[in-house]
Structure 1
Amino acid sequence: MKVNFKVVLLLAGFVSLQTTAVLAQKFGYTNSAAILVEMPATKSADAQLKTLQEQLTKELKDKETEFNAKVQEYLQAADTGTLTPKQMQDQEAALTAEQQNLQKLQNDAMVKIQNKRDQLYSPILEKVQLAIDAVGKEKGYDIIFDVAALNVILFANESEDVTALIKAKL
């Protein structure tokens, strides 16, 4: 019986220590989206991405217009009967290849935009993360939540909002 009592007493001590450790943690929160929106580097990155997207969109529209003109030309020639079956087959194959090339160009443009976005935003996000880390260490926070990413914090004391402190670090 003494052994069981000692085990229970020991377990109660561990549970008590665990509870105290959890209660002693300091939590904060921030809104990284609000921070990013106000950063000049983000505005510059957005402008560069918009320019690239407009340029690629124009190039794709020009190629699409050329392709549509070739399709119309082929359809008119096919309707008038001026093409031999071999010529029709060759032109259909060429149009199919051009359509596939156009699709590849669209996919490549999307990848190019995503790569540029990653290239531009990577240093910005790293800078914000370093500021979050610095505030967390300086103010003794164990965890800082991002309400922009999680959006699951149902209540938080405004005194634990570290967004202004993070902005000051940037």
Structure 2
Amino acid sequence: MDNKKQNMKSILNYAIIALLSVASITSVSAQKFAHINSQLLMVEMPEMKSADAQIQTYQEGLMKKGQDMVQAFEAKYLAYAEQANKGELNKIEMQQKEGELGKEQQDIQAYEQEVQTLLAQKRQSLYKPLIDKVKIAIEQVGKEGDYTMIFESGSGVLVHAAESDDIMALVKAKIGM
């Protein structure tokens, strides 16, 4: 009789292990994975093209001011060089002109750095709403499609995408493209 109880316990233990194994396999196979190239999506968005055009116009305005500063500097430098070559300036006047030209050159360099900062701020202000829009749409598609994980395929992080769904079309529909 003890042998029968022992066999029954063993069978029961094996049954529990088998049941737990099937349950864990089922939960693993129920996971859904997807991928999207959000950079490509953003490039295709009409709003991105509009933002890029605004940035281009803004950059051209900033560059025009910088070019004007450089042209003014060059004209002053040429005038100084001509006066210096002709001997029209004494030593004190030459030092004064060189100081003015040096300051103007520093101003141009400072403006070039300011342009980079202003362009970065402009890009940030125009791109952030678009990035947020795409992020929200991806999250919505993820929830609606019951996806466990969505990978960014544009960054090169994803090595193999055969087992995942490309949700580009779903996200495009979500943002009205």
**TM-score exceeds 0.5:** yes
Higher helix content, 1 or 2: 1
**Distance in structure 1 (CA, Å) of the matches to 2:21 and 2:85:** 86
Q: Which letter does structure 2 place at the counterpart of 1:145?
A: F
Cross-structure match for 1:35: 41
Cross-structure match for 1:139: 145
Cross-structure match for 2:32: 26
1:145 is paired with a residue whose SS is strand
Counterparts of residues 87-126 of structure 1 (less than 5 Å): 87-126=93-132
Cross-structure match for 1:153: 158
8 A contact 2:48–2:130 mirrored in 1: yes
Identify the match of residue 74 of structure 1 among 68, 80, 98: 80
Deviations 1:25-60 (A, max 9, x none): 322100112211221111110010000111111111
Length-normalised TM-score, structure 2:
0.80
1:167 aligns with 2:172: yes
Cross-structure match for 2:65: 59
Distance 1:158 1:68, change over 3 A: farther
Query: What is the aligned-residue RMSD (CA, Å)?
Result: 2.3
- Name the stretch that deviates more: 87-96 or 24-33: 24-33
Length-normalised TM-score, structure 1:
0.83
- Size of the aligned set, in residue pairs, is 156
Percent identical residues: 42
**Distance in structure 2 (CA, Å) of the matches to 1:22 and 1:94:** 73
- Note the C-alpha offset of 1:79: 1.0
Structure with bigger gyration radius: 2
Distance 1:144 1:90, change over 3 A: same
- Name the stretch that deviates more: 123-132 or 153-162: 153-162
- Stretches of structure 1 that go unaligned for 5 or more consecutive residues are 1-13
